[in-house]
Amino acid sequence: MPPRVIVLNGGSSSGKSTVARCLQAILPDPWLTFGTDTLVDAMPGGGTGIDFAVGGEVIVGEGFRTLEAAWIQGIAAMARAGAGVIVDEVFLGGAASQRRWRDALDGLPVLWVAVRCDGDVAARREAARGDRIAGMAVRQADLVHRGVRYDFEVDTTCTGPEACARAIAGEVISRTPGPSPPPSRRT
């Protein structure tokens, strides 16, 4: 079955959001995109269980995990209802983070994609953005990939988001069955 969910996992400023928007533009069917930033932005202020420390450390508590679990289940429900979904995620817990998503997406065809970027390059992007805590990109560049299993990988260090999206789209299309060949005729 062709993927109904594409999970893009990479560190801060690795280019996941831009790759996701490019994917939306080139995939043959409409796809929804949801990112971890969307979840964080939707959280109520104070007491949500997520803190951003100096040096780029992200500290996640139980309050965040409770809301995150509901969010993950909601995204899985949209995919089960027939929507194609691109998830722009940061697996701070590596394999444990992927496990939460795997459990929620059980039974759905998923393409797991690593979005890699050299930490120094991501740090320059982070500084240029101005909306991230300094150090987050370097801290997450390798951390988010530890113990995570992927179907496909792209590296945005030297490859632009459009090329990465085309490569991912090619993988999605290669997993999409084509029409059955006509039956052969015997004479």
Residue 115 identity: V
**Order of strands across the sheet that contains 31-35:** 31-35, 84-89, 5-9, 110-116, 152-155
The number of beta carbons lying within 10 Å of the beta carbon of residue 181 is: 6
Strands 152-155 and 50-52: unpaired
- Which helix (H) or strand (E) segment holds residue 121: the answer is helix 119-129
Residue 61 identity: G
pLDDT at 58: 78
- Which helix (H) or strand (E) segment holds residue 169: the answer is helix 161-174
Helix 16-26 crosses helix 161-174 at what angle (to 10 degrees)?
Answer: 50
Take residue 149 and report the two structure tokens written for it: 């299993």
What is the spatial distance between Cα 160 and Cα 9, in angstroms, rounded to a whole number?
Answer: 17
Inform me whether the pLDDT recorded for 24 exceeds 50. Answer: yes
pLDDT at 187: 39
What is the spatial distance between Cα 141 and Cα 122, in angstroms, rounded to a whole number?
Answer: 8
pLDDT at 55: 73
Contact 56, 136 (CB under 8 A): yes
What tens digit of pLDDT does each residue of 96-138 get?
999 999 999 999 999 999 999 999 999 999 899 877 788 889 9
CATH number listed for the domain at residues 5-174: 3.40.50.300
Q: Specify the pTM.
A: 0.89
Residue 37 is among the residues annotated as catalytic for this protein: yes
Inform me whether the pLDDT recorded for 177 exceeds 80. Answer: no
Write down the residue that tokens 């803190």 correspond to. 51
The one catalytic residue among 29, 37, 88, 142: 37
For the chain, which residues make up each domain, given as ranges?
5-174
